Amino acid sequence: MKPSKRLGKVPPYLFAEIDRKKSAAIARGVDIINMGIGDPDLPTPPHIVEALKKAVDDPKTHNYPSYQGELDYRSAVAEWYQKRFNVTLDPQKEVLALIGSKEGIAHVFTAFVDPGDYVLVPDPGYPVYHMGTILAGGEPYSVPVSEKTNYFPDFGVIPLDVVRRSKILFLNYPNNPTGAVVGLKEMEAAVEFCRTHDLLLCWDAAYTENAYDGYKVHSILEIKDAKDVAIEFHSLSKTYNMTGWRVGMACGSATAVQALGTIKTNVDSGIFKAIQRAAIVALTAPQDCIAQSNKIYVERRNVLVEGLNSLGWKLTAPKATFYMWAPVPENFTSASFCAHLLDSCGIVAVPGNGYGAQGKGYFRMAITLPVERIHAAIGRMQAKDIRFQ
């Protein structure tokens, strides 16, 4: 049998390859310190777990759920957006349940992209933006972002003929992999650019609640008339340590939500009702658990930043996300430096070029592991004299 041509354009998924290398090292007996994938090691808060246990015992949760998500869940999402961002959403038309935000991100390309259409994707950026475009038959156009521009795109450098053939602009703040954040001015510019050029603005907002030092993240839907052009992808994964539960939401433009919902109706059967009930509890109960998690992440972030800086880096602590984005030392590429960390120190980090060409010369570390292990990672680097020069 012969797979499709578009499948041949898709390289191995970045994290799958990292997992393969990690597993091989473990098989050799290496004590791995995994600073690769941003998967919270903290447990899901007990009140959410208890809500799931109770819901599972109810036979009414055992049949097919609604494709769009149970109305109670979508209403809880709307209520959360109202409290958190002062954004009003119609739960029936402007909210869609997702099997994790990655699922919705992957499917939105099918809903809007025809063969030959461009999708404007940030470089560096989350790999699914690029791969999802290819799988839908579209053409990803890399929009460079860099430290010089605070990892926000300069829309003026995108060729007009590319813009005219584009359907979607994808942006992600707080940003994976760089940890960058943006303000209302940049968000307004993105909305205006998409309105001017009739683009769908897809805003990936998975890390809005993982913010530190008093910093508050905005939703793109707070921008005036953003719902005319924008759909925001959000998730309970990072906020409530629920990555394995696979529950999220898409909110915003009723047209975009309906189009995405049409795809989902034909390719999946919705989220297990018991999980939706637990998600309702997560969204509507007191939110103290978020502050408790963030306090732990701040300690870990500070240990990592101070540790790397003691080895010659000059890093600023990120205001949000789980990630530290840093340049590799001289005479290394992204890939060779991460290989060196794994081989010499048993540390898993992610090469920046896995997020696009503009990520060359960088690597990413995640703080989703105990502070003792971060101390150990810095200690191993010190012992092997791995420094930034």
- The residue that leads in pLDDT, 13 or 161, is 161
Please name the fold of domain 46-284.
Aspartate Aminotransferase; domain 2 (3.40.640)
- Helix H or strand E segment including 326: strand 323-327
Q: According to DSSP H, which parts of 170-287 are helical?
A: 184-197, 254-267, 273-284
Say whether pTM exceeds 0.75.
yes
pLDDT of residue 15: 65
Predicted confidence band of residue 1 (pLDDT cuts 50, 70, 90): confident
206-256 tens-digit pLDDT: 999 999 999 999 999 999 999 999 999 999 999 999 999 999 999 999 999
Predicted confidence band of residue 13 (pLDDT cuts 50, 70, 90): low
pLDDT of residue 100: 94
pLDDT of residue 337: 94
Domain boundaries, the chain: 5-43+289-383, 46-284
Predicted confidence band of residue 389 (pLDDT cuts 50, 70, 90): confident
Cα separation of 354 and 363, whole Å?
9
297-337 tens-digit pLDDT: 999 999 999 999 999 999 999 999 999 999 999 999 999 99
Percent of the chain with pLDDT over 90: 89
220-224 contacts at long range (C-beta below 8 A, 24 or more positions apart): 220/187, 220/190, 220/191, 220/252, 221/81, 221/85, 221/87, 221/89, 221/251, 221/252, 222/85, 222/86, 222/87, 222/184, 222/187, 223/184, 223/187, 223/188, 223/191, 224/188, 224/191
Tell me the two tokens of residue 7.
């499948």
152-210 tens-digit pLDDT: 999 999 999 999 999 999 999 999 999 999 999 999 999 999 999 999 999 999 999 99
pLDDT of residue 221: 98
Predicted confidence band of residue 26 (pLDDT cuts 50, 70, 90): confident
Tell me the two tokens of residue 120.
């404007």
Q: How many helices (H) and strands (E) does the chain have?
A: 13, 12
Mean pLDDT, to the nearest integer, of 61-79? 96
The residue type of 322 is F
Query: Do the Cβ atoms of 42 and 296 come closer than 8 Å?
Result: yes
Tell the CATH superfamily of the 5-43+289-383 domain: Aspartate Aminotransferase, domain 1 (3.90.1150.10)
Mean pLDDT, to the nearest integer, of 33-57? 96
C-alpha triplet 274, 280, 281: angle, nearest 5°: 95
Axis crossing angle, helix 254-267 with helix 101-112, rounded to the nearest 10? 100
Question: What is the chain's mean pLDDT, rounded?
Answer: 95
Q: According to DSSP H, which parts of 117-248 are helical?
A: 127-135, 160-164, 184-197
Mean pLDDT, to the nearest integer, of 14-43? 84
